[in-house]
A and B are shown apart, each in its own frame.
Chain A
Amino acid sequence: MMKFLHISLLFILLTTSCGRPLFNLSEGESFTEGDFENPYFSSHDIDYVYKARIEVFSSTLGGLLIIKKIEKNHHRVVFTTEFGTKLLDFEFKGATFKVNFIQQKMNKKMLIHLLRKDFELLISQFNPIHKMYLLEGNNVFLSKKEGKYRYYFTDKNERLTKISSGRKRREQVIILFDKNSDNLAEEIQIKHKNFKLNIELSFLH
């Protein structure tokens, strides 16, 4: 009996802690099941070309980050120097990831993994909604993928302003979108909380 009680208490403790969000969010309205759509890299017609600055540990790399939606669930992400010399060329097609090219000096398993995860978070268009919250009257959508909690923050115009990804109680990566219109964010920052990997992007007209 005592053993059963212990298990029950543990169960209650676990389930209640699971329900508590990472941020100071309040429960949102009920919603019909569906996806949260990240609109920023969703158009086939736009060549998304950004001036980029990537800070990795003690190094800073400048260049151009080029993102193109080829077809549904298919993106190319290419990073070049300002000169046009290609430094990396990633391809995301459904669940498949391919390194088409990476410059020898950047060909480090850890770096490729981190950049892959960051870019995947940035371009992931349809994200199944697990739960909906409110923060200062604005909707926040929780989606879960591969054990990660992804919170999508929107503003009063229902535009995506921030993505936070991490463990249940620990934020690991945030992406901030600024100067955004319906399908384009002109300023983007990707920040890691655990170590120094920051990416700043400014859209080139």
Chain B
Amino acid sequence: MKKQCVFIVVMLVSSLGWSQQTALDSQKAMEVKKGVMRSAQATRTIVADFVQAKHLSFLSKDIISKGNLIFKDPNLIKWSYSTPFVYSVIFKENNLLINDAGKKSNIDLSSTKMFKQLNTLIAKSIKGDMFDEQKFDIQYFKTKNNYVVTFTSKEEAMHSFIKKFELTFDGKTYQVMKIKMIESPEDYTLITFTSLLVNKDVNDEVFTH
């Protein structure tokens, strides 16, 4: 009787898990990839609010920060944090332009290959344009309303920063909704976009220091 109960509980739990996220077959995966790439190609700008949750296994709760993102094709990005600290960073060509509560600084990324690569990946992930099978093992999943695509870097050196990117795309528009950057099974950063506006006019002056 006890064994039967355990079996039922295991079946229930696994079916719940199954209904939350299921792997897509190759045909459906190809449709999702095409949908996301179509959306990415049509995206010139993105303006969105975001909530960032930093999860570290040893903390009692996630560290939450909030702000605003402005993206302009092909690779201009500005992240502005407004709470609980005031901080903005602009990715522009080979530079990071930082404004830390009024203190401005520049970081030249040309000498820091890994950071440059990381920033390129973040730019690509915002747009949803990361389908490079040379660089990533890519897996596709379906949730109730959306799609989740995971990108595991094939470069060992990249793993010291981020082992896996997990992007959630809207099931209808294929716009990116969430970016999860997984450092280890226990530690990750989850960025969730809200009030996302696509192709709104964005002046280049936004990206000046």
Contact = CB atoms under 8 A, between A and B. Distances in A.
A133 to B, nearest CB: 38
Nearest to B189: A84
B146 to A, nearest CB: 22
Contact of B100 (A62, A103, A104): A62
B161 A66 contact: no
A70 interface: yes
Which secondary structure dominates chain A's binding surface? Answer: strand
A85 B56 CA distance: 11
Contacts of B97: none
Interface string A104-118: 110000000000000
Nearest to A49: B63
A6 interface: no
A75 to B, nearest CB: 10
A68 interface: yes
Contact of A47 (B60, B81, B89): B60
Contact of B160 (A66, A68, A104, A204): A104
A181 interface: no
A66 B63 contact: yes
B54 to A, nearest CB: 4
Interface in A69-116: 70, 76, 78, 80, 82-86, 101, 103-105
7 A-B pairs closest in CB distance: A84-B189, A84-B54, A204-B84, A51-B85, A47-B59, A62-B100, A68-B58
23 contacts: A47-B59, A47-B60, A47-B61, A47-B63, A51-B84, A51-B85, A53-B100, A62-B87, A64-B54, A66-B56, A66-B63, A68-B59, A76-B58, A78-B56, A82-B87, A82-B89, A83-B189, A84-B52, A84-B189, A85-B181, A85-B189, A202-B85, A204-B63
